[in-house]
Amino acid sequence: MPEKYTTSYPAKRIHSDGRAEDVKVLLAKECPVKLFLNGKLFTTLFASPLELKELAVGHLITEGVISFREIENVEVDGRAVHILIRKENQEISTEAAGKIGKAEKAEKEEETSKEIFVDSDSVFEPQAIFAGTEYLESDTYKLTRGTHLAALIDRRGKLAVQIVDVGRHNAVDKAVGAAFLKGLDLSQHYMLSTGRQPAYMVTKAARAGITLIATKSMPFDSGVEAAKKANVCLIGQLRKESMLVFAGEWRVKL
């Protein structure tokens, strides 16, 4: 299925010895996805053109807009997703209202991250976490070198959900959306990610009830502090031979 995520483009390859040649390379596709809530445009996301229902559901949950039980219906129409929710007494934000500056967004995230606490006593065997290294690369990434991946792994180390997207935020949103649509208990799964983990990324996962995040990259210091406040285990530099645990060490059962 990688062909659905990619498109071929011409380019000129120039070598260090002066040679030049015309080539065709595969690039990752990106498209605008409009998300409507109760008939009103809420936001436009730029993402890979698949799993749009999962993207919309996961985005609303990880951004703290609604809970899954408030969703009554989800329909995909081309590159638009229409969601009907039960929020008659609350004003639904519009696309314009969602456009805030980076500084304001960072301040808002710092305030909300203090309130998020994952109330779960789930722990994971190290072997289940190391098993995640088998799912860190996708065929689409090998072809394009331009995508991120998010996956959900259960406590036995078995793959439950694996999602590819051009954005690390979108990949997490889609994985969370897929989990809720499948009825998975996220407290019994950990999130595997190829992306770096600043506070914003950790907070998205924590809002969904995820207790452990493992990434092949290194987290930011803000991500570590957010994980500590949210009672989330944060693992960086996940390799087959070792991992670095930065927060919530007790969730890794030694």
User: Quick check: is 47 in a domain?
Assistant: no
Residue 143: band (very low, low, confident or very high) from pLDDT cuts 50, 70, 90: confident
Q: Contact, 235 vs 188, CB < 8 A?
A: no
User: Quick check: is 157 in a domain?
Assistant: yes
The tokens for 93 are 């934000």
The tokens for 150 are 């998010």
User: Quick check: is 179 in a domain?
Assistant: yes
Separation between Cα atoms, residue 180 and residue 127, nearest integer Å? 26
User: Quick check: is 240 in a domain?
Assistant: yes
Domain count, the chain: 1
- Reported as a single tens digit per residue, the pLDDT across 84-129 is 998 654 555 555 444 444 444 555 555 555 589 999 999 999 999 9
Beta carbons within 10 angstroms of residue 127's beta carbon: 10
User: Quick check: is 242 in a domain?
Assistant: yes
User: Quick check: is 219 in a domain?
Assistant: yes
User: Quick check: is 20 in a domain?
Assistant: no
**CA triplet 138, 132, 124: central angle to 5 degrees?**
155
Separation between Cα atoms, residue 175 and residue 186, nearest integer Å? 10
Separation between Cα atoms, residue 180 and residue 65, nearest integer Å? 15
Look up tokens 């015309």; give the residue: 22
- Reported as a single tens digit per residue, the pLDDT across 198-245 is 999 999 999 999 999 999 999 999 999 999 999 999 999 999 999 999
Separation between Cα atoms, residue 22 and residue 80, nearest integer Å? 37
Global confidence as pTM: 0.89
DSSP-assigned letters across all residues of 55-88: HHHHHHHHTTS--GGGEEEEEEETTEEEEEES-T
pLDDT at 91: 58
| Tally: H helices and E strands in the chain | 7, 12
Separation between Cα atoms, residue 182 and residue 170, nearest integer Å? 18
Q: Contact, 150 vs 167, CB < 8 A?
A: no
Beta carbons within 10 angstroms of residue 143's beta carbon: 17
Separation between Cα atoms, residue 195 and residue 218, nearest integer Å? 9
- Reported as a single tens digit per residue, the pLDDT across 76-93 is 999 999 999 986 545 555
CA trace torsion 136, 147, 48, 83 (10° rounding): 50
Query: Which CATH number covers residue 164?
Result: 3.40.140.10
- The rounded radius of gyration (Å) of the Cα atoms in the chain is 19
User: Quick check: is 110 in a domain?
Assistant: no
The tokens for 194 are 């190829």
DSSP character at residue 129: H
Find the domain containing 162 and state its range: 126-251
